Amino acid sequence: MAVQSHVDAPDLACDVFHADPARVAEVRAAQPDAVTVERLAEIFNALGDPTRVRLLSALATAELCVCDLATLLSLTESAISHQLRFLRSLRLVRARRAGRMVFYRLDDEHIVRLLAQGREHAEEGVSRFGR
C-alpha cells in the first residue's frame, strides 16, 4: 500500500467507482443536521477575516474594552465596535459592563479552544513550509 503525502500528491481519485454502502450509512448517521451545518459555516466564515482573527486572538489572551482593541489593532473605535457587534450577533464574543467601561471576551470555551487549535495548525504550517 503506497502512502502518498498530501503536499506533493497529484489530483487523486479512485481508479474505479466503488462507494461502500455500509460505510456511507454509518457516516451519514453521525452527520450534523442542516441547521447546524449552516450555523457552523456561518461561524467559520465570520472567522475567515484577518481583522477578526486579530481581534479574537486578542480576546483569547485577555478581556479587553473597545479602547484597548482600537489601540492594539490601530483601528478606530467605530471599526472595532462594528466588528464586535457582528461577532456578538454570532455569539462569538460577549460583553460585560463595569462602571463606565465595557469589556469583551470570547463567548465560551469552545471558541477559545477552536481558535487555539486553528492557531496551532497555522503555526505548524508556517514552520513546516516557511510561508
Q: List binders of a second copy among 87-106 (CB under 8 A).
A: 88, 91, 93-102
**Minimum distance from CB of 57 to a second copy (Å)?**
6
**Minimum distance from CB of 129 to a second copy (Å)?**
8
- Using CB under 8 A as the binding rule, whether residue 76 contacts a second copy is answered as no
Measured between alpha carbons, how far is 48 from 2 in angstroms, rounded to an integer? Answer: 35
- Tell me the three cell numbers of residue 110: 469552545
Radius of gyration of the chain (CA): 20
Size of the residue set binding a second copy (CB under 8 A): 92
**Minimum distance from CB of 128 to a second copy (Å)?**
8
- 35, 75, 76, 83: residue in contact with a second copy (rule CB under 8 A): 35
Neighbours of 114 (CB within 10 A): 18
- Using CB under 8 A as the binding rule, whether residue 79 contacts a second copy is answered as no
Measured between alpha carbons, how far is 66 from 59 in angstroms, rounded to an integer? Answer: 11
Measured between alpha carbons, how far is 60 from 54 in angstroms, rounded to an integer? Answer: 10
Q: Which of 115, 113, 96, 117 is nearest to 46 (CA)?
A: 115
**Minimum distance from CB of 86 to a second copy (Å)?**
11
Residues 12-31 close enough to bind a second copy by CB under 8 A? 12-21, 23-24, 26-28, 30-31
- Using CB under 8 A as the binding rule, whether residue 85 contacts a second copy is answered as yes
DSSP 49: S
- Using CB under 8 A as the binding rule, whether residue 75 contacts a second copy is answered as no
